[in-house]
Amino acid sequence: MRDVFLTGDSHTAALRRGQTAIEADGGWPRDLRLTIQPMGGGHLTREPFFIDRGDHAEITAVEYRRRFERLPLEHAARADTVYGFSAPLHSARIWRHPDWQNYAPAAMALPGTPVSSGMVSRLVLADQKHVLDLLALMTRIGRRVFVIEAPYPFHHHPALRKTPAAIVRHLDRAYRAIVRSELARLEVPVVAVPQDCTEDGFMRSEYGQPGDHHHGNERYGRTMMSEILAFLDRDWSAAPDVAVPPAGLRLPAEEVRA
């Protein structure tokens, strides 16, 4: 029996719905025991939420401790348990900030106060510092870990009413490229959002849900859970080249708009 534990931010809810749908159709692998237990709101990851105890992370954020008190889990501490994390590739906290109504990445040559690529990188790495530190701890102690990519921006997000879509797309691409580079350094593979779920850097509307600005629906969850199952069936013991963007995705430095 293969044991997999998925945790992370609120995007795990769609993954759970996807798992339920696949199970209902009788398509779930009999040799796979996959547990989904979210930590809680992703906004809490911007502050220290654990203490490095050497052989495990002691969870200190109150909301997260209600779910579990440590990682790896004591009852799933076997070295062959695989851990999946949803959190490192959720970019919305950066691009939805209202400052981007008056600022713009310098590489885009748009009106507004220019922000250098170095500053964008600092913003991204600060946003994910503690999650990346947790992944570094898990890999250091020999745990097998992977990351599940969060949805790309949805056009119906209210931030796009005032911030140009080109800026949102640029920042989202920059965010993913920067974090993927860090994951590559840690040799942590990524289960990516399939490119046919997106169009011109945004999620297709059929994967969204009314009244929700950035979470995927059951269709999205089922798609991503199918990607996770395919990933788990492959031999991913070798260090993956996760720094390479998905096909058709240009790195932010290459995107200069008049």
d(CA 68, CA 60): 10
pLDDT band for 145, please (50, 70, 90 cuts). Answer: very high
Give the model's pLDDT for residue 74: 74
Lowest pLDDT segment from 70-79, 208-217, 222-231: 70-79
Residue 133 has pLDDT above 60, yes or no: yes
The whole-angstrom separation of Cα 20 and Cα 28 is 9
Q: What is the pLDDT of residue 254?
A: 32
The predicted structure's pLDDT at residue 140: 95
Look at residue 94 and tell me whether its pLDDT is greater than 70.
yes
How far is CA 92 from its chain centroid? 10
Q: Whole-angstrom Cα distance, residue 216 to residue 15?
A: 9
DSSP conformational letter for 31: T
Spell out where the chain has E strands: 2-8, 32-36, 50-52, 57-59, 70-71, 82-86, 103-105, 113-115, 144-148, 190-191, 198-199, 202-203
pTM for this entry: 0.87
- Quick one: pLDDT at residue 234? 86
Q: Which CATH number fits domain 2-254: 3.40.50.1370, 3.40.50.1110, 3.20.20.10, 3.40.190.10?
A: 3.40.50.1110
Q: Does the pLDDT of residue 148 top 90, yes or no?
A: yes
The tens digit of pLDDT for each residue in 27-68 reads 999 999 999 998 878 787 888 999 999 999 999 989 899 988
- Residue-range domain boundaries for the chain: 2-254
